[in-house]
């Protein structure tokens, strides 16, 4: 009988630590509901003590998402644990996750204490959390650089204190597969109590080995993996859920393990997270990249036409890689659009639906048909909106002859406090002209860090999706928008980021 591997998803906690990827409350709930459809066993919904907004978002997830265990992260401090419990106490199955440094460099340099005091603090935190909740997870931070004997003591004592899950994090992505697998095996042998709890691993990707390390740990007795969608997370990210799951599924005869992941939901989950967090997926990304099932070589194409198994070890449909066309046009009524949104997994309050329906009509007036991907993009962009200090009104971009050169000229009208402001600017290209025009109107000094445009679907009428990341007064914020006109999408994305900056200031 195959051994069950639990999937602990930390997209909403570790994934949110990527600069500019912060989700609002509604977005966090939508992602959590999709993770529930994906079949993850545990959702780490956030770090409630980090901000009142995150505490509120975690509380909403705990109340609305019922199937998975809902966990939250806390430092080994009573105040953190109190705030966390208040956020997750309404969950069907709550879990408190506490952590404390285990390596000497973290204990001495970061915490300014010795091993004995750190061990005492960890045990006290687990005991304190246990009074609230039966499921307690403890993570000895930077475990792969910790003294092994000391790590064993920490694991043993926190289990005695009441930990039901012990997670071994490769916090800085330092381990290599052979030694990480050996670490898990030796820990199992040295601390027999690990047979009575869930032994988990949390691998970072600083050396590109997060997935390989997770697999090595599973082979050596780990029974929970902590990962994120698309491998996002702090620095170089975490083990990618889709990679670990599909390795175990594709090579099931080799590992003799199974997960509860509904793999046809992988692509839709990946794209949802990418759009909500404004983090593009590289085309050659394993499993979910745009090129993952593309074949350009003539030899490969010939093989695929004869038998897909010649060059595909995963069927595209097994991960949900298939286009679904919705026959929606500008003549589609509210009822039809609402029904299609429900089919796509979006159950929205009336005021939000009306906002999305208005944007749907604006896009549908300029396109013949709206696809599922178009509709998803419209929804997800509208959900990323923040209160508008500056609102888009209209835009004209032309070519102006100046000093013998043809330069793009942008004329933009924005709305602020009910008043319309119009400015013009030239630039090296149409997007540069538009951004300079917006800078003039807002009066901000903006450093553009990243800018991308891609088509949501194929064809000449594809909806263009623009993403920007900007820095204003030391604050990094991102923005995203869609439009059949990529220049307009770019302008709206830039404004979305600026309005986020003002929201953060408030």
* Residue-wise pLDDT tens digits, 34-72: 999 999 999 999 999 999 999 999 999 999 999 999 999
Mean pLDDT of 196-213: 98
Confirm whether 284 is domain-assigned.
no
Mean pLDDT of 354-379: 83
Q: Is 457 left (phi over 0), alpha (psi -120 to 50) or beta?
A: beta
Give residue 105's pLDDT. Answer: 97
**Does one domain contain both 409 and 345?**
no
Give residue 379's pLDDT. Answer: 86
Is pLDDT larger for residue 334 or for residue 211? 211
Among the residues of 162-310, which ranges form H helices? 177-190, 210-219, 241-250, 252-255, 266-276, 298-306
Domain holding 433: CATH number?
3.30.160.270
Predicted TM-score of the model (pTM): 0.79
**Does one domain contain both 223 and 299?**
no
pLDDT tens profile 311-326: 889 988 999 986 444 4
Give residue 153's pLDDT. Answer: 98
* 94-101/136-141 β-pairing: parallel
**Does one domain contain both 204 and 303?**
no
Mean pLDDT of 118-129: 98
Give residue 458's pLDDT. Answer: 67
Confirm whether 327 is domain-assigned.
no
Summary mean pLDDT of the chain: 91
pLDDT tens profile 98-115: 999 999 999 999 999 999
Give residue 253's pLDDT. Answer: 92
**Does one domain contain both 364 and 452?**
no
Domain holding 222: CATH number?
3.20.20.70
**Does one domain contain both 306 and 397?**
no
What single DSSP character describes residue 41? Answer: S
Confirm whether 407 is domain-assigned.
yes
Give residue 381's pLDDT. Answer: 80
Q: Is 421 helix (H, G, I), strand (E, B) or coil?
A: strand
**Does one domain contain both 232 and 165?**
yes
Confirm whether 420 is domain-assigned.
yes
Give residue 78's pLDDT. Answer: 98
**Does one domain contain both 452 and 398?**
yes
> Domain tally for the chain?
4
Question: Strand order of the sheet with strand 391-402?
Answer: 391-402, 405-416, 419-426
Confirm whether 234 is domain-assigned.
yes
Give residue 311's pLDDT. Answer: 82
**Does one domain contain both 248 and 298?**
no
Confirm whether 361 is domain-assigned.
yes
Give DSSP secondary structure letters for 436-459: HHHHHHHT--EEEEEEEEEESSSS
Give residue 325's pLDDT. Answer: 45
**Which pLDDT band, with edges at 50, 70 and 90, does 337 fall under?**
confident
* Statement: residue 249 has pLDDT above 50: yes
**Does one domain contain both 316 and 247?**
no
pLDDT tens profile 71-104: 999 999 999 999 999 999 999 999 999 999 999 9
**Which pLDDT band, with edges at 50, 70 and 90, does 402 fall under?**
low
Confirm whether 283 is domain-assigned.
no
**Does one domain contain both 35 and 167?**
yes
**Which pLDDT band, with edges at 50, 70 and 90, does 462 fall under?**
confident
**Does one domain contain both 25 and 129?**
yes
**Which pLDDT band, with edges at 50, 70 and 90, does 295 fall under?**
low
**Does one domain contain both 299 and 224?**
no
* Statement: residue 296 has pLDDT above 60: no
Domain containing residue 469: 391-505
Confirm whether 287 is domain-assigned.
no
């Amino acid at each position: 009988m195959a051994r069950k591997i639990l999937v602990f998803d930390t997209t909403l906690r570790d994934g949110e630590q990527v600069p500019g990827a912060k989700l609002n409350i509604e977005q966090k709930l939508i992602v959590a509901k999709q993770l529930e459809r994906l079949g993850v066993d545990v959702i780490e919904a956030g770090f409630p003590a980090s901000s009142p907004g995150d505490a509120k978002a975690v509380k909403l997830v705990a109340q609305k998402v019922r199937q998975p265990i809902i966990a939250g992260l806390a430092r080994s401090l009573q105040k953190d644990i109190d705030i966390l419990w208040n956020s997750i106490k309404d969950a069907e199955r709550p879990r408190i996750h506490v952590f404390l440094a285990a390596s000497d460099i973290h204990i001495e340099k970061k915490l300014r204490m010795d091993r004995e005091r750190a061990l005492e603090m960890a045990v006290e935190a687990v005991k304190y959390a246990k009074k609230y909740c039966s499921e307690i997870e403890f993570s000895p931070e930077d475990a792969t650089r910790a003294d092994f004997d000391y790590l064993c003591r920490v694991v043993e004592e926190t289990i005695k204190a009441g930990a039901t899950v012990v997670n071994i994090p490769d916090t800085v992505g330092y381990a290599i597969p052979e030694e990480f697998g050996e670490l898990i095996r030796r820990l199992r042998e040295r601390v027999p109590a690990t047979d009575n709890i869930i032994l988990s691993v949390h691998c970072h990707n600083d050396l590109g080995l997060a997935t390989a390390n997770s697999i090595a740990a599973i082979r050596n007795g780990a029974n929970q993996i902590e990962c994120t969608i698309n491998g996002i997370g702090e620095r170089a990210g975490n083990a990618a859920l889709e990679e670990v799951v599909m390795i175990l599924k594709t090579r099931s005869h080799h590992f003799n393990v199974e997960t509860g992941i509904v793999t046809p939901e992988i692509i839709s989950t990946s794209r949802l997270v990418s759009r909500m967090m404004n983090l593009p997926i590289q085309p050659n990304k394993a499993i979910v990249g745009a090129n993952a099932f593309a074949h350009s070589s003539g030899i490969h194409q010939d093989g695929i036409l004869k038998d897909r198994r010649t060059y595909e070890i995963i069927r595209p449909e097994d991960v949900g890689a298939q286009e679904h066309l919705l026959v929606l046009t500008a003549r589609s009524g509210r009822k039809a659009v609402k029904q299609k949104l429900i089919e796509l997994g979006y159950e929205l309050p009336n005021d939000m639906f009306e906002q999305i329906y208005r944007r749907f009509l604006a896009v549908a007036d300029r396109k013949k048909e709206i696809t599922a991907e178009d509709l998803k993009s419209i929804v997800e962009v509208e959900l990323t909106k923040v209160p508008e200090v500056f609102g888009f009104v209209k835009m004209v971009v032309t070519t102006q002859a100046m000093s013998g050169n043809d330069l793009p000229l942008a004329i933009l009208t924005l709305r602020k406090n009910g008043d319309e402001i119009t400015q013009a600017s030239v630039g090296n290209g149409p997007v540069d002209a538009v951004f300079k025009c917006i800078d003039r109107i807002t009066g901000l000094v903006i450093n553009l860090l990243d800018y991308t445009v891609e088509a949501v679907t194929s064809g000449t009428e594809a909806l263009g999706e623009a993403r920007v990341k900007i820095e204003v007064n030391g604050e990094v914020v991102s923005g995203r928008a869609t439009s059949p006109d990529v220049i307009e999408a770019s302008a709206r994305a830039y404004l979305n980021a600026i309005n986020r900056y003002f929201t953060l200031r408030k």
